[in-house]
């Protein structure tokens, strides 16, 4: 993310991952709290217009300046494996350069290991996750003022801090023991101290499974690879399938505003239509402002609608349609009644009443379930180039069910 230090525009593929991260605003904000380097200042928003409008020359010079020619800024399919990835060894902490092909295999298969060419340590992505967990634990334990820790993960560290005698004890646990040894260590200390089991250890282990052990990147508390895959169908639809008309842009804003307004009046999960959802994604690029505005308008931060049970998407869309159309009908009726009342009052008072055109001709767009924008978590399976993610997702679920990860 260092390209953002000088306000430089990100390459398109980086912007896609940023968008997938910001589509989960609560977790994104949490990751901003965890970020001590300041690279996540992009939560204030980047001018992504530059990514589309800037010339290749400008983009490349910005990218090369920050990444020192380690990888290309533009990635056509023929150059997909050009350059290399960098990983820090979990033992000697030197930087290791890896071919993208090897990195891709390592990143998507937890059984694949890399070997440090300096200390010869062999490690999987879960070893990276465990290392990041220990580093974060150390930071939390070394904090003099616990009130400065705002992230959910950091607060969880404080809950289990009383069960850790020394961070060196955690580091000394068997290298390949996953979370099993950490959990046993915490439970043992809890029992020896005569402390009641408050559930915090199990909660901590589950959170570690979902965050550290699912993403080798310390800045993300959830699996960004999974997040991008789940959005792939939506991204393809809005960039490849939609036939845009000028009026669609106005409908997009109107529908999004009404979606926010309706969300304020109900606690039910609402499914935006495709136009409102596009506007929402644009809004989310400025994560801080998105959070502030949805909190102000709706009383809560509207997260991505991934809470809809798989297989029930159309049912939720029909529920949204019923609430949407009933509410718009009431609003139109109220406006019509007010307009008639003004006319009658004007006639009885022998006054000529001018009704604002915006009030008399305003059109509320009906909700169309065929344009409902929900996310099929397995929608990427319809695309041949994304089939590799099926194996990754299956392996991911198996590992999450495993106590030791």
User: Can you say whether the dihedral through the CA atoms of 4, 8, 9, 10 is positive or negative?
Assistant: negative
pLDDT at 120: 94
pLDDT at 123: 93
> At 84, phi and psi to the nearest 5?
-160, 160
Q: Which residues pair with 84 in a beta bridge?
A: 99
Instruction: Locate 225 and state its tokens.
Output: 């690879």
Instruction: Locate 308 and state its tokens.
Output: 């809809």
pTM of the model: 0.75
Q: How far apart are CA 66 and CA 2, in angstroms?
A: 7
Q: How far apart are CA 1 and CA 39, in angstroms?
A: 6
pLDDT at 37: 55
* pLDDT bracket for residue 359 (50, 70, 90): very low
pLDDT at 238 over 50: yes
Q: How far apart are CA 324 and CA 318, in angstroms?
A: 10
* pLDDT bracket for residue 235 (50, 70, 90): confident
**Counts of helices then strands in the chain (DSSP H, E):** 17, 4
Instruction: Locate 114 and state its tokens.
Output: 């890399």
- What residue has token string 């993960």? 153
152-160 vs 200-210: helix crossing angle, rounded to 10: 140
HSE, side-chain direction, 13 A CA sphere, residue 333: 6
Rounded alpha-carbon distances, angstroms, from residue 165 to 144, 190, 191, 294:
17, 11, 13, 42
Tell me the mean pLDDT in the region 78-88: 77
Q: Identify the CA nearest to 271 among candidates 222, 313, 225, 227.
A: 313
pLDDT digits (tens, 9 = 90+) for 247-294: 888 888 889 988 998 888 888 888 999 999 999 988 888 888 888 888
* pLDDT bracket for residue 114 (50, 70, 90): very high
Tell me the mean pLDDT in the region 106-112: 88
pLDDT at 360 over 50: no
Each domain of the chain, given as residue ranges in start order, spans 2-126, 129-241+380-405, 247-374
Tell me the mean pLDDT in the region 355-375: 66
When mean pLDDT is compared over 10-19, 142-151, 161-170, the highest value belongs to 161-170
Contact indicator for 153, 34 with CB cutoff of 8 Å? yes
Instruction: Locate 303 and state its tokens.
Output: 């997260």
pLDDT at 92: 92
pLDDT at 300: 82
SS3 44: helix
How does DSSP classify residue 11? P
* Lowest mean per-residue pLDDT among 128-137, 257-266, 270-279, 391-400: 391-400
Q: How far apart are CA 353 and CA 364, in angstroms?
A: 24
How does DSSP classify residue 88? E
* pLDDT bracket for residue 336 (50, 70, 90): very low
pLDDT digits (tens, 9 = 90+) for 195-205: 999 999 999 99
pLDDT at 352: 47
Mean pLDDT of the chain: 79
Q: How far apart are CA 184 and CA 180, in angstroms?
A: 6
* Lowest mean per-residue pLDDT among 16-30, 37-51, 141-155, 256-270: 37-51
Q: What percent of the chain has pLDDT over 70?
A: 74
SS3 251: helix
CA angle, residues 148, 149, 153, in degrees to nearest 5? 175
* pLDDT bracket for residue 58 (50, 70, 90): low
pLDDT at 70 over 90: no
> At 331, phi and psi to the nearest 5?
-65, -40
Distance of CA 128 to the CA centre of its chain: 21
């Amino acid at each position: 993310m260092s390209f953002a230090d000088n306000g430089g525009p990100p390459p398109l593929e980086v912007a896609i991952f940023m968008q997938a991260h910001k589509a989960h605003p609560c977790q994104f904000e949490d990751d901003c709290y965890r970020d001590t380097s300041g690279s996540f200042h992009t939560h204030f928003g980047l001018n992504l217009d530059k990514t589309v409008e800037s010339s290749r020359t400008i983009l490349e010079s910005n990218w090369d300046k920050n990444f020192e020619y380690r990888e290309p800024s533009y990635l056509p399919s023929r150059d997909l494996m050009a350059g290399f990835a960098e990983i820090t060894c979990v033992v000697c902490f030197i930087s290791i350069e890896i071919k993208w092909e090897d990195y891709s295999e390592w990143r998507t298969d937890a059984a694949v290991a890399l070997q440090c060419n300096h200390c010869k340590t062999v490690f999987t992505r879960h070893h990276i996750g465990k290392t990041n967990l220990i580093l974060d634990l150390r930071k939390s334990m070394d904090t003099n003022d616990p009130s400065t820790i705002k992230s959910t993960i950091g607060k969880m560290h404080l809950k289990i801090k009383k069960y850790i005698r020394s961070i060196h004890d955690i580091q000394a646990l068997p290298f390949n023991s996953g979370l099993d040894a950490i959990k046993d260590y915490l439970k043992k200390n809890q029992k020896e101290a005569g402390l009641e089991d408050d559930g915090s250890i199990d909660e901590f282990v589950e959170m570690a499974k979902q965050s550290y052990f699912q993403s080798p990147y310390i800045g993300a508390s959830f699996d960004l690879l999974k997040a991008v895959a789940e959005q792939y169908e939506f991204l393809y639809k809005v960039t490849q399938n939609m036939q845009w008309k000028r009026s669609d842009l106005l409908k997009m804003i109107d529908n999004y505003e009404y979606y926010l307004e309706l969300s304020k009046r109900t606690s039910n999960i609402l499914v935006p239509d495709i136009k409102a959802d596009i506007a929402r994604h644009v809004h989310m690029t400025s994560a801080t402002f998105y959070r502030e505005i949805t909190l102000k308008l709706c009383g809560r931060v509207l997260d991505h609608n991934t809470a809809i049970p798989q297989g029930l998407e159309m049912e939720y869309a029909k529920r949204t349609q019923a609430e949407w159309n009933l509410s718009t009908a009431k609003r139109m009726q109220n406006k019509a009644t007010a307009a008639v009342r003004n006319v009658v009052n004007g006639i009885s008072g022998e006054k000529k009443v001018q009704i604002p055109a915006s009030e008399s001709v305003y059109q509320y767009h009906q909700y169309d379930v065929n344009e409902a924008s929900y996310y099929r978590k397995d929608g990427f399976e319809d695309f041949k180039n994304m089939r590799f993610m099926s194996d990754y997702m299956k392996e991911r679920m198996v590992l999450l069910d495993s106590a030791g990860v």
